[in-house]
Structure 1
């Protein structure tokens, strides 16, 4: 994009029109194009802005960055087959007081490497991402983290799972207790364990990955 910025600066100087005037022409604040050229913010021009500027100067849009963006898109498309989309569900699994389940409909997706999933024995069809709500699993899981849940059937074993208890979803460490019982354990010791009959618990899936902002 550096070449596109320099070309825009060259065209403005050649035509004797200021960057502030050009910014206002495309409906932006007067410092918009100055920041674009000098500071690289925004990283690229919006398509409509680029088209208007190219038309004003009588040059091809490619001179202002269009070719680079198209090339990047083509490159991304070549590698798209190596990635799979895992649905993000509008659900919150409580890491605190029980959270009521939301709509189990995807609102977005997150790309995972197909090879990474296969290396970890994960099947795309059995995966979804949901958000963590609350602080009972800190520092392992924090409020707002997203967790990858494997819904594929496996024998229940100790580990971090998403479970449904009544109408509420929880993300907890699952520990099997006496016959017919299960214990849900928080990492944050401020929260006591929850003991429940296995018959009252629906295991939604095992947590196999987490992601979140620093």
Structure 2
């Protein structure tokens, strides 16, 4: 019984902290989930209801970009670490070379990330996927076999390392805007010359926000 009360208090505290970090009120959150404005205030301060209903909890977790377990959902079973967010590893390669083609976007595995780390970096797990780097054109920044985390969140273009699709081929390159209406695709490896293409000929899949690989 004591553990149950402690867990309930932890989840109420977590909701309050998430609301504060997002800069929103409990009343606004209550209205968002279709409740009266005092609903979540009573939950946090009085423990009434004792736990959030599943539908309410799911809406709040989606809004904050966290696992439902942070707001009181039971552990979903063996093989999954409660409190971590799953990001799919796709059966794709982004070429740091001549171009990777022919693969489908099929998730074959997952990486687990801390929801706090994702929030601190302004990332939403629903817009993330991990793929492998193939080739040496981005050495030493990205090496053959590295895993990269790609953020597909729609945002205004800014220069940086992105995954792009040219025709059927995926590439990972440093992108720079070149007026009027062109992009320069730059390799970190000096053996590869920059390439300029028209913006309409390039599909910018997403920005590379993290990398991992063996030493």
Does TM-score exceed 0.5, indicating one fold? yes
Aligned pair count? Answer: 139
| Distance change >3 Å, CA 101–CA 206, structure 1 → 2 | farther
Confirm whether residue 211 of structure 1 aligns to residue 212 of structure 2.
yes
Counterpart-to-counterpart distance in 2, 1:101 and 1:118: 34
Counterpart-to-counterpart distance in 1, 2:183 and 2:93: 22
Q: How does 1:84-163 map to 2 (within 5 A)?
A: 84-163=85-164
- Shifted more, 159-168 versus 97-106: the winner is 97-106
CA deviation digits over 1:88-126, x for unaligned, max 9?
000000001111141101000010111100110000100
The aligned counterpart of 2:174 is: 173
Counterpart-to-counterpart distance in 2, 1:202 and 1:152: 14
> 1:162: how far off?
0.2
Q: Over the residues paired in the alignment, what is the CA RMSD in angstroms?
A: 1.6
CA deviation digits over 1:169-202, x for unaligned, max 9?
0000000001210010000010001110000000
Runs of 4+ in structure 1 displaced over 6 angstroms?
none
Q: Secondary structure at the match of 2:81?
A: helix
Give unpaired runs (5+ residues) of structure 2.
Answer: 1-74
Return the index of the structure with the highest Cα Rg: 1
> 1:127: how far off?
0.2
The aligned counterpart of 2:202 is: 201
> 1:80: how far off?
2.5
Q: Secondary structure at the match of 2:138?
A: coil
Counterpart-to-counterpart distance in 2, 1:101 and 1:125: 24
TM-score in terms of structure 1 length: 0.63
- Shifted more, 138-147 versus 100-109: the winner is 100-109
TM-score in terms of structure 2 length: 0.62
Q: How does 1:1-150 map to 2 (within 5 A)?
A: 80-150=81-151
